[in-house]
């Protein structure tokens, strides 16, 4: 894995301090004390994270083997894997899992493409560039709950919303975007929120482009597009990867936007896994089943995350070589 | 969508040499402004609606010109948003302080020559970000209830710290990696000089990075909704929770809702505007100086 | 390096100062800003309520209670209906102690009383001078009592459902609303009054998922068509001809003559559309009348007539629902000590007693008085005058609603627009999601009902099992 190469490269960059011998000196690099100096500062954060984020999952696993309806006291009993059987035979759960993937990938991809385009548009001096950038990053700063509310009410409202007013001449009339196209409506809100993030990243990437290379390419007579494809895009690659991975990390857990805009509806047409599990737990009060769904989701996430993390590790090892 | 993006790229990279037509340049400037205003427009409309009377917010076609009123803001503050703002502020600042207190040493340790299994630890940190929080909310609720910490702002502080710590460790580590190796290695020679050189040498170098990290943690903490809505009630509820309660199930509410949303979003928007460059620095994990 | 260390040190001292401040907050044991500004020795009572206008009025008036009771400080948690329900249920069921009093309905009260989660209010009411328990509307009082006959929550308001229609539009079109309309007639009217060019829909009906949203009016339609959720042996009946006919009717009516965005329309959205003059009829809760007749919010004041909930030719039993938002005290409050229960009850009795209605009438206007809970409300001259257009219909609808015998054919459950079983929150929500998707046109009514039937069968089987064990 590229990860070990990475740390290797850090050490190799400074070979003088690397002790060649495995034996432990009493003081200095490699000593037992040195090890604790290195490891000690890590422990508080590590222990804190383990306690707060990992222990609850152990409870979740335990609950997933119970049949337990919260509003039906005395109903708690051990049922083994029954909850998992229900989860896997629940067609809604499969639909919702698919939604999760579509919403996440769709939003990340569109936001990245738009973010790239907007960043290129801003990567030149023009009057008011700072103001335009300020305007553009605002959606990322807005509290998602507030952002979702804006979209749900003043933008998408079928009668009083701005979207239908603007699209009225094109025959939108009183289209009810949120119930006719719930997933699209959510993707629009999420893309609106995350495009600025992608743009900022790409803009940072563009700014760090070595000018000499660009100049050299132009002197060689390359066209604008060729320069972009051959020089800029490869340079941006790790910024794009970083944006996709970070965006996906946050977007896969989207809850507030769905909660505020559609409540997962109509039906479960726009519910993603976090929202559906929340509904099972806090509307259905079916603790056992929602826990089982949680466990399934966690396992699926770990598999996907492992793949995604390979990507991020590659980005980072590249970043550290700069 | 892709076609549009393709064209834009093409044009912009053509313009970079800035020798061809100025008309192309002006067009791109206009386009940039249109895009900027387009993205900002929903926010603008929210603020505008916040200054309307409820009746004026429900018109078809929408009204752009009207007599502005502060009634909605008066209602928001009269309706007691202040404790929510204070709770948000407290949870945001405290969790960010805690994140930096816990995250800086961890990032330092992870940036030294390889701590055993550095990558595993980093992997672990970031993987906690990917797990669906919702899967753990019931146990968290039960445990928090058991220790009597429901509706306590400290519960949010602890959870927000855990929520932001992984990203913070990653960001901070990338900033530590920029510190010259000799300084760090010298620092790790023995305990006494470690803290001194950390304080006097390393800290000043990474403090811009810490500020960037802190800023991003603050944005996420201020905007957090899920824990807040499930674990607080009267005393510790934060601004996003206030927004949800603001939707009355009857009557006209667009204008007052927009006023509440404006108040809720304003602090972070302003901080973000002011510290734009820090934002970029933090988000790009120090890849940009 | 040395030149830079001075400002660095100053900065450090600022950080230290901030940390000291924070430590002070820690040591003071501050749990949140909501606890700030408490007078010495005051008792805090936390109440979770649904953010409907009548409750907002109560919050606005609560400083008066605090002035009369300086040793009690009130903290309200005001949430929209779905959120309030989720939060309150989770809290009470897990023994969470965030709330001293909770707002629940006649759905939760009997079940939670059975579970031992609520404080018996009979002794408290008896010990409160002038608190006339017998004044509560009888149908509501019985709906808020446990199987032991004791009352476990006190009604803040009560509601049934009726049909609101625009008299001016009916006159314009030469139509007359019968004294007891049928759904078939209503569909005919809606068809004639829909005018898409003028942005006007014939009728507004809820389509928003949620057992308290679309399921409420739809269940009354199902009842009117002679349908039921279960037969006496807990066999699910959601694919029976009666239910199919009723649901098909409801969905067709919405799709043809409903407001745009019906699948996301709940009480609030329908209220907006109707009061802004965009719908000719609206079938919903009787409390809607207060909104419709409020000149600050409504464009149609004085133009609206009120007819009983529509029935069908086959079944002319009164079909309106019965619902009450009521206040209860969870057992966890009792565990905090009798003083906490007394303080909580003091406020609950204040909010549900007769003088409160006078107070609201005088301060907020007589149309804002919470309706339906007390019979004496309908004896207040000012209220009768202000609400003449709808008060008699409201009172009649509430008193006729019978949650013990809601359906034409016998059923093993009680409840008009809900089933008083713990599984119903979940079942009703899931079924409502399917039906809402049908209203949105994403699936057919038959598909929605097939899926709904599956859910209902699972729940029914668990009751069949239990009864099998009992016999």
* pLDDT tens-digit series, residues B246-256: 765 555 678 88
Distances (CA, A) of C5 to B199, C1, C11, C15, C370: 10, 6, 10, 15, 67
Give chain C's mean pLDDT.
Answer: 87
- Residue B216 sits at the vertex; the CA angle it makes with B212 and B222, to the nearest 5 degrees, is 140
C355 touches chain B (CB under 8 A): no
- In this prediction, residue A99 carries a pLDDT of 92
Q: Does C4 touch chain B (CB under 8 A)?
A: yes
- Residue A143 has what DSSP assignment? -
The Cα–Cα gap between B58 and B253 comes to: 9
Distance CA C107, CA A232 (A): 63
pLDDT in the model for residue A245: 83
Of residues C30, C48, C268, nearest to B249 (C-beta) = C268
Closest chain B residue to the Cα of A286, Cα to Cα: B138
Of C82, C273, C433, the CB nearest to A267: C433
Once rounded to an integer, what is the mean pLDDT over residues C3-28?
Answer: 48
Of A7, A160, A238, the CB nearest to B114: A7
Vertex C238 angle, CA C236 and C243, to 5°: 135
Dihedral sign for Cα atoms in the order C118, B151, C343, C104: negative
Q: pLDDT tens digits, residue range B271-281?
A: 999 888 888 77
CB contact under 8 A, C291 and B244: no
Residues of B in contact with A259 (CB under 8 A): 225
Asked if B13 is an interface residue toward chain C (Cβ–Cβ < 8 A), one would say no
CA of B158: how far to CAs of B98, B237, C17, C19, in Å?
8, 15, 22, 17
Q: What H or E segment, with its residue span, contains residue A77?
A: strand A77-78
Neighbours of chain A (3+ CB pairs under 8 A): B, C
Tokens of A234: 């490869």
**CB A291 to CB B42 under 8 A?**
no
- Measure CA C260 to chain center: 24
Task: Estimate to the nearest angstrom the gap between the alpha carbon of B228 and the chain centroid.
Answer: 15
Judged by CB atoms closer than 8 Å, whether chains meet at A146 and B261 is answered as yes
CB of B233 within 8 Å of a chain C CB? The answer is yes
Mind listing the pLDDT tens digit for each residue in C186-205?
999 999 999 988 889 999 99
Tell me the per-residue pLDDT of C203-227, one tens digit each, with 9 for 90 and over. 999 998 888 889 999 999 999 999 9
Question: Tokens standing for C123?
Answer: 């002794």
> B149 in contact with A at a CB cutoff of 8 Å?
no
Q: A302 in helix, strand or coil?
A: helix
User: Any chain C CB within 8 A of the CB of B152?
Assistant: yes
Give the tens place of pLDDT for each residue, A253-281: 899 999 988 888 777 788 999 999 998 88
What's the per-residue H, E or C state across chain C? CHHHHHHHHHHHHHHHHHHHHHHHHHHCCCCCHHHCCCCCCCEEEEEEEECCHHHHHHHHHHHHHHHHCCCEEEEEEEECHHHHHHHHHHHHHCCCCCCCEEEEECCHHHHHHHHCCECCCHHHHHCCCCCCHHHECHHHHHHCECCCCCECCEEEEEECEEEEEEHHHHHHCCCCCCCCCEHHHHHHHHHHHCEHHHCEEEEECCCCCCCCCCHHHHHHHHHHCCCCCECCCCCECCCCHHHHHHHHHHHHHHHHHCCCCHHHCCHHHHHHHHHCCCEEEEEEECCHHHHHCCCCCCCCCCCEEEEECCECCCCCCCCCCCEEEEEECEHHHHHCCHHHHHHHHHHHHHHHCHHHHHHHHHHHCHHHCCCCCEHHHHHCHHHHHHCCCCHHHHHHHHHHCCCCCCCCCCCCCCCCCCCCCCCHHHHHHHHHHHHHHHHCCCCCHHHHHHHHHHHHHHHHHHHHHHHHHHC
Spacing of C-alpha C353 from chain mean position: 20
What stretch of H or E contains A165? helix A162-167
Query: Are the C-beta atoms of residues C425 and C198 closer than 8 Å to each other?
Result: no
At C145-184, the pLDDT tens digits run 998 999 999 999 999 999 999 999 999 999 999 999 999 9
With bands split at pLDDT 50, 70 and 90, how would you rate the model's confidence at C30?
A: low
Nearest alpha carbon to residue C296 among B253, B50, B55: B55
Radius of gyration of chain C (CA): 25
pLDDT band at B16 (very low <50, low <70, confident <90, very high): very low
Q: Give all strands of the β-sheet with C72-79 in edge-to-edge order.
A: C72-79, C43-50, C101-105, C323-328, C154-159
d(CA C293, CA C280): 15
pLDDT surpassing 50 at residue C4: no
Contact B179, B202 (CB under 8 A): yes
Q: Tell if the CB–CB gap between B142 and C87 is shorter than 8 Å.
A: no
The b/e string for C104-121 (b: 16+ C-beta within 10 A; e otherwise) is bbbbbbbbbbebebbbeb
Rounded to a whole number of angstroms, the distance from the CA of A72 to the nearest CA of chain C is 6
**Per-residue pLDDT at A32:** 61
Summarised one tens digit per residue, pLDDT across range B103-154 is 988 888 888 766 557 777 887 887 788 777 888 888 898 888 888 888 889 9
- Confidence label for A315 from pLDDT (cuts 50, 70 and 90): low
Q: Which pLDDT score is estimated for C106?
A: 93
Three-state helix/strand/coil letters over chain B: CHHHHHHHHHHHHHHCCCCCCHHHHHHHHHHHHHHHHHHHHHHHHHHHHHCCCHHHHCCCCCCCCCCCCCHHHHHHHHCCCHHHHHHHHHHHHHHHHHHHHHHHHHHHHHHCCCCCCHHHHHHHHHHHHHCCHHHHHHHHHHHHHHCCCCCCHHHHHHHHHHHHHHHHHHHHHHHHCCCCHHHHHHHCCCHHHHHHHHHHHHHHHHHHHHHHHHHHHHHHHHHCCHHHHHHCCCCCCCHHHHHHHHCCCCCCCHHHHHHHHHHHHHHHHHHHHHCHHHHHHHHCCCCCC
Task: For residue A303, give the nearest of A42, A7, A109, A97 by alpha carbon.
Answer: A97
Contact B53/C at CB under 8 A: no
Share of residues in chain C with pLDDT > 90 (%): 61
Q: What is the pLDDT of residue C46?
A: 92
CA dihedral B3, B5, B7, B8 (to 10 degrees): 160
For residues B95 and B90, give the distance between their C-alpha atoms in angstroms, rounded to a whole number.
8
Which class for C298: exposed (0-12), middle (13-18), buried (19 or more C-beta within 10 A)? buried
- Its ipTM equals 0.84
d(CA C22, CA A72): 43
Q: Is C96 on the interface with B (CB under 8 A)?
A: yes
CB-based contact C77 B233, cutoff 8 Å: yes
Contact (Cβ atoms closer than 8 angstroms) between residue C376 and residue C135: yes
pLDDT, position B55: 78
CA distance A199 to A240: 10
- A135 with B40: CB under 8 angstroms? yes
- Range of lowest pLDDT (C20-29, C99-108, C422-431, C443-452): C20-29
pLDDT tens, position by position, A221-231: 777 788 888 88
pLDDT tens digits for C46-67?
Answer: 999 988 778 888 998 999 999 9
- The model's confidence at residue C95, banded by pLDDT at 50, 70 and 90, is confident
Per-residue pLDDT of A14-56, as tens digits, reads: 333 444 444 555 555 555 666 666 677 888 999 999 888 888 8
**Confidence check: pLDDT of A244 > 80:** yes
Based on C-alpha coordinates, what's the Rg of chain B? 24
* Token pair for A36: 């604790």
C261 and A266: CB-CB below 8 Å?
no
Q: Which has the minimum average pLDDT: A125-129, A296-300, B192-196?
A: B192-196
Q: What pLDDT is attached to residue B161? A: 95
The 10s digit of each residue's pLDDT in C316-325 is: 889 999 999 9
**Of A85-94, C376-385, C439-448, minimum mean pLDDT range:** A85-94
Nearest to B109 among A41, A145, A162 (CB): A41
B15, pLDDT greater than 50: no
- Report the pLDDT value the prediction gives residue B185, as an integer from 0 to 100: 65
Question: Does residue C335 sit at the B interface (CB-CB below 8 Å)?
Answer: no
% of residues, chain C, pLDDT over 70: 90
Give C37's pLDDT tier (boundaries 50, 70, 90): low
**Chain A partners within 8 Å of C263 (Cβ):** 176, 179, 265-266
Helix-helix angle B153-176:B203-223, to 10 degrees: 140
Report pLDDT for B12: 42
**B174 has a chain A CB within 8 A of its CB:** yes
Segment C319-342 mean pLDDT = 93
Q: C330 CB near a chain B CB, below 8 Å? A: no
Closest CA to B255 of B67, B93, B30: B67
Greatest mean pLDDT range, A18-32, C21-35, C73-87:
C73-87
What is the pLDDT averaged over residues C296-325?
91
**Is pLDDT larger for residue C129 or for residue A267?**
C129
Q: How far apart are the C-alpha atoms of A121 and A203, rounded to whole Å?
A: 10
Inter-chain touch C31–B82, beta carbons under 8 Å: no
Between CA B98 and CA B162 the distance in angstroms is: 9
Best probe of the A interface among B36, B54, B191, by most A CBs < 10 A, is B36
pLDDT band (50, 70, 90) for residue A90: confident
Task: Return the DSSP state at A67.
Answer: E
Sort residue C182 into left (φ over 0), alpha (ψ -120 to 50) or beta.
beta
| Torsional class of C359: left (φ above 0), alpha (ψ -120 to 50), beta (otherwise) | alpha
Cis (ω within 30 of 0) for the bond into B123? no
Interval A117-172: pLDDT, tens:
999 999 888 888 889 999 999 999 999 999 998 898 888 887 788 888 888 788 76
- Supply the pLDDT for residue A37: 65
Q: Does C95 touch chain B (CB under 8 A)?
A: yes
Which secondary structure element, helix H or strand E, spans residue A303, and what is its range?
helix A287-321
How is residue C414 written in tokens? Answer: 């009680």
Tokens at A134, concatenated: 């300020």
For β-strands C279-285 and C201-204, DSSP reports them as: parallel
**Assigned CATH topology for domain B74-283:** MetI-like fold (1.10.3720)
């Amino acid at each position: 894995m590229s990860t070990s190469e990475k740390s290797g490269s850090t050490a190799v960059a400074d070979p003088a301090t690397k002790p060649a011998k495995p034996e432990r000196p009493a003081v200095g690099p490699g000593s037992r004390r040195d090890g604790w100096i290195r490891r000690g500062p890590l422990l508080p954060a590590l222990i804190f994270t383990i306690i707060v984020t990992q222990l609850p999952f152990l409870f979740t696993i335990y609950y997933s083997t119970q049949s337990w309806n919260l509003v039906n006291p005395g109903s708690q009993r051990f049922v083994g894997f029954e909850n998992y059987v229900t989860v896997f035979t629940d067609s809604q759960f499969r639909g919702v899992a698919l939604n999760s993937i579509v919403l996440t990938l769709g939003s990340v991809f569109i936001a990245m493409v738009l973010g790239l385009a907007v960043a290129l548009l801003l990567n030149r001096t023009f009057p008011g560039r700072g103001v335009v950038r300020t305007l553009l990053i605002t959606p990322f700063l807005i509290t998602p709950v507030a952002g979702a509310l804006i979209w749900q009410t003043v933008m998408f409202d079928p009668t009083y919303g701005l979207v239908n007013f603007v699209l009225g001449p094109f025959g939108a009339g009183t289209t009810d975007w949120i119930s006719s196209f719930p997933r699209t409506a959510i993707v629009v809100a999420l893309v609106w929120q995350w495009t600025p993030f992608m743009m900022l990243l790409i803009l940072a990437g563009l700014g760090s482009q070595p000018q000499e290379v660009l100049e050299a390419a132009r002197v060689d007579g390359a066209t604008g597009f060729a320069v972009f494809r051959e020089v800029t895009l490869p340079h941006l690659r790790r910024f794009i990867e970083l944006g996709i991975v970070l965006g996906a990390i946050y977007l896969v857990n989207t809850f507030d936007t769905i909660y505020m805009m559609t409540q997962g509806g109509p039906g479960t047409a726009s519910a993603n896994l976090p929202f559906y599990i929340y509904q099972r737990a806090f509307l259905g009060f079916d603790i056992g089943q929602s826990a089982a769904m949680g466990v399934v989701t966690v396992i699926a996430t770990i598999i996907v995350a492992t793949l995604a993390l390979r990507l991020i590790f590659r980005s980072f090892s590249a970043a550290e070589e700069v | 969508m892709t076609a549009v993006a393709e064209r834009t790229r093409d044009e912009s990279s053509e313009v970079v040499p800035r020798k061809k037509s100025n008309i192309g340049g002006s067009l791109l400037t206009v386009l940039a402004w249109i895009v900027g205003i387009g993205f900002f427009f929903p926010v603008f409309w929210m603020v505008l609606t916040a200054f309307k009377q409820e009746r004026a917010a429900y018109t078809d076609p929408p009204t752009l010109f009207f007599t502005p009123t502060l009634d909605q803001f008066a209602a928001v503050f009269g309706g007691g948003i202040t404790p929510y703002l204070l709770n948000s502020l407290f949870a945001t600042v405290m969790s960010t302080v805690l994140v930096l207190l816990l995250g800086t040493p961890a990032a330092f340790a992870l940036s030294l020559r390889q701590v055993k299994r550095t990558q595993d630890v980093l992997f672990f940190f970031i993987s906690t970000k990917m797990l669906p929080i919702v899967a753990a909310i019931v146990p968290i609720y039960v445990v928090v209830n058991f220790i009597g910490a429901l509706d306590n702002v400290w519960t949010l502080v602890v959870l927000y710290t855990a929520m932001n710590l992984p990203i913070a460790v990653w960001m901070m580590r990338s900033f530590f990696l920029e510190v010259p190796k000799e300084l760090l290695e010298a620092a790790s020679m023995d305990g006494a000089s470690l803290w001194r050189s950390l304080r006097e040498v390393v800290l000043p170098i990474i403090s811009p990075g810490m500020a960037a990290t802190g800023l991003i943690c603050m944005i996420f903490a201020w905007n957090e909704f899920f824990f807040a809505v499930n674990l607080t009630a009267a005393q510790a509820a934060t601004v996003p929770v206030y927004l949800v309660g603001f939707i009355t199930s009857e009557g006209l509410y667009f204008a007052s809702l927009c006023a509440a949303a404006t108040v809720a979003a304003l602090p972070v928007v302003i901080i973000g505007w002011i510290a734009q460059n820090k934002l970029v620095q933090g988000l790009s994990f120090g890849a940009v100086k | 390096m040395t030149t830079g260390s001075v400002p660095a040190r100053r900065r450090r001292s600022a950080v230290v100062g901030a940390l000291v401040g924070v430590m002070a907050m820690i040591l003071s044991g501050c749990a949140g800003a909501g606890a700030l500004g408490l007078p010495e020795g005051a008792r805090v009572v936390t109440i979770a309520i649904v953010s409907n206008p009548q409750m907002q009025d109560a919050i606005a008036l609560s400083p008066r209670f605090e002035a009369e009771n300086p040793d009690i400080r009130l903290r309200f948690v005001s949430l929209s209906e779905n959120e309030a329900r989720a939060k309150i249920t989770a809290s009470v069921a897990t023994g969470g102690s965030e709330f001293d009093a909770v707002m629940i309905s006649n759905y939760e009260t009997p079940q939670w009383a059975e579970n031992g989660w609520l404080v018996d209010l009979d002794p408290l009411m008896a010990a409160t001078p002038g608190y006339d328990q017998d004044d509560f509307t009888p149908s509501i009082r019985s709906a808020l009592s446990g199987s032991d006959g004791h009352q476990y929550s006190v009604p803040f308001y009560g509601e049934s459902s009726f049909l609101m229609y625009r008299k001016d539009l009916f006159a314009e079109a030469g139509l007359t609303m019968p004294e007891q309309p049928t759904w078939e007639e209503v569909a005919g009217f809606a068809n004639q009054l829909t005018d898409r060019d003028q942005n006007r829909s014939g009728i507004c009906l809820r389509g928003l998922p949620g057992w308290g949203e679309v399921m409420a009016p739809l269940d009354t339609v199902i009842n009117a068509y002679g349908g039921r959720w279960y037969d006496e042996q807990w066999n699910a009946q959601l694919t029976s001809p009666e239910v199919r006919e009723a649901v098909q009717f409801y969905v067709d009516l919405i799709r043809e003559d409903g407001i745009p965005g019906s699948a996301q329309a709940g009480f609030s959205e329908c209220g907006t559309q109707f009061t802004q003059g965009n719908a000719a009829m609206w079938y919903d809760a009787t409390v809607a009348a207060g909104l419709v007749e409020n000149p600050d919010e409504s464009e149609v004041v004085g133009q609206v007539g009120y007819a009983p909930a529509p029935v069908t030719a086959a079944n002319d039993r009164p079909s309106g629902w019965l619902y009450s938002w009521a206040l209860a005290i969870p057992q966890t409050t009792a565990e905090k000590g009798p003083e906490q229960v007394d303080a909580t009850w003091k406020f609950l009795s204040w909010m549900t007693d007769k003088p409160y209605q006078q107070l609201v009438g005088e301060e907020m206007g007589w149309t804002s008085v919470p309706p339906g809970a007390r019979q004496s409300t309908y004896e207040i001259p000012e209220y009768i005058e202000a609400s003449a257009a709808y008060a008699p219909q409201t009172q009649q609808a509430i008193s006729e609603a019978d949650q013990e015998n809601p359906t034409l054919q016998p059923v093993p459950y009680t409840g008009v627009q809900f089933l008083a079983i713990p599984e119903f929150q979940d079942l009703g929500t899931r079924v409502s999601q399917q039906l809402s998707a049908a209203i949105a046109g994403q699936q057919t009514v038959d598909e929605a009902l097939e899926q709904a039937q599956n859910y209902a069968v699972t729940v029914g089987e668990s009751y069949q099992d239990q009864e099998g064990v009992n016999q």
